[in-house]
Amino acid sequence: MKYFMMGILLSAILTVLSLSVWGMNMAINITGGIGLLLLILSMIILGSMVSGDRMRANFASESMEERHKRTSVSTRLFLMGLPNLVVSGCLFYYFS
């Protein structure tokens, strides 16, 4: 929940800053870009963008602690990126 709240705070700060400096279109682009970047980083760290045989090899070669750490970091990045994507989608829907 802490990381989700950090994502909400990040999206609010980015929205207010970009609205005051550049305008609505840049607010949509910046919040959406940060959300997309965090989502892609989450997928890369989780290892979900590899083939099935590579997933099995990674699963067999890592310990339970490493897997737990990798999954928790990926979840944190996803929870920080999700509010940014939602805010970007809402701004796009209501103001474009």
Q: Is residue 40 part of a domain?
A: yes
Q: pTM for the complete prediction?
A: 0.90
51-77 tens-digit pLDDT? 888 888 888 899 999 999 999 999 999
In a domain, 75, yes or no: yes
Query: What confidence score (pLDDT) does residue 40 get?
Result: 96
- pLDDT tens, position by position, 16-26: 999 999 999 99
- The domain tally of the chain equals 1
Look at the block and give the residue holding tokens 């890369």.
Answer: 44
Residue range(s) defining the domain that contains residue 77: 2-91
pLDDT of residue 11: 95
Residue whose entry in the numeric block shows the structure tokens 């699963």: 59
Within-domain flag for 96:
no
With CA atoms as reference, report the closest residue to 88 among 39, 37, 34: 34
Please indicate, yes or no, if residue 68 is contained in any of the structural domains: yes
**Percentage above 70 pLDDT, the chain:** 100
Round to whole Å and give the CA distance between 24 and 88.
10
